[in-house]
Amino acid sequence: MPLLAGRRLAFRLAAGTAVALLAEPAFAASPAADLVSATVAEGFSIMKSPNSPQRQAAIKQILMTRFDLPFMAQTALGKYWDGATAEQRQRFVKATEESEAKTYNERFGQYSGLELKVVKTTDRPNGVEVVDTRIIQQNGSQPLKLEWEVRKTNQGLRITDVKVEGVSMVVTRRSDFNSYIQQNGGKVDALIEALEAKAKGP
């Protein structure tokens, strides 16, 4: 029990630091920017524990609560979404969630401990807010440019896309998925199976 209590305390301390970090920057005034910094702080604090199924579950939890994954999945499937059955859509969204959780586990790990700076938040006419951030790299090389698309949904603000140095995750996924479907005779099932196999794999 003392061990557990200690862990709980450590977690509280970590959460406290995260909140303190969030409260500090005066320029991160917009809710969208706050959402982004909170997500990144949460991701980094999870990264402090060793890699385990629990950690991956925690990352998945972040994705489910901070990102609009069904929307991202729908955009990534592009024109094939309309032709897909309800059952296909459901399986596809689930498979994407699994594979994204894996991806983010690694990405947060790579950048863990680095500093994220919010540069500015821009409102787009279509209701999307773009939060422009930089990750300051340790070895003195150019800071990494990360842009986050934040949208209002029924559950509140959600992240719908991340652009790294101009490369949008969702657009890249769509290119990838569409090409795979085309290579496999225009069948969405082929893609879903490939994604499910990927989620199960190492």
Partner 1 sequence: MIASVSKMATRVRCSVVATAMAAALLGGCAVNDTGASEPWDPIETPNRFIFAVNRAVDTIAIRPVAVLYRDWVPEPAQKSVRNLLDNLGEPVTAINEVFQGDPSRAGVTLARFVVNSTIGLAGLFDVAAMMGMPRTKTDAGQTIGMWAGKGVEPENGGFYLVLPLAGPSNARDATGLMVDYAIDPFQILPVAFNWDFWYYSLPRFGLNVIDYRSRTMFALDDLEKNSVDYYAALRSAYTQNRAELIRAKRDKTDTKSELERRDNLALVK
Nearer to partner 1, 18 or 180 (CB): 180
Nearer to partner 1, 56 or 75 (CB): 75
Q: Which residues of this protein are in contact with partner 1, per CB under 8 A?
A: 75, 78-79, 99, 102-103, 106-107, 110, 125, 139-140, 165-168, 171-180, 183, 191, 194-195, 198
Q: Smallest distance, Å, CB 32 to partner 1?
A: 18
Nearer to partner 1, 65 or 137 (CB): 137
Q: Smallest distance, Å, CB 167 to partner 1?
A: 5
Q: Smallest distance, Å, CB 24 to partner 1?
A: 27
Nearer to partner 1, 34 or 99 (CB): 99
Entry field: residues in the chain = 202
Q: Smallest distance, Å, CB 15 to partner 1?
A: 28
Nearer to partner 1, 58 or 191 (CB): 191
Do residues 95 and 72 make contact, with C-beta atoms less than 8 angstroms apart? no
**CA neighbor of 66 nearest in space, from 94, 90, 40:** 40
Q: Smallest distance, Å, CB 189 to partner 1?
A: 13
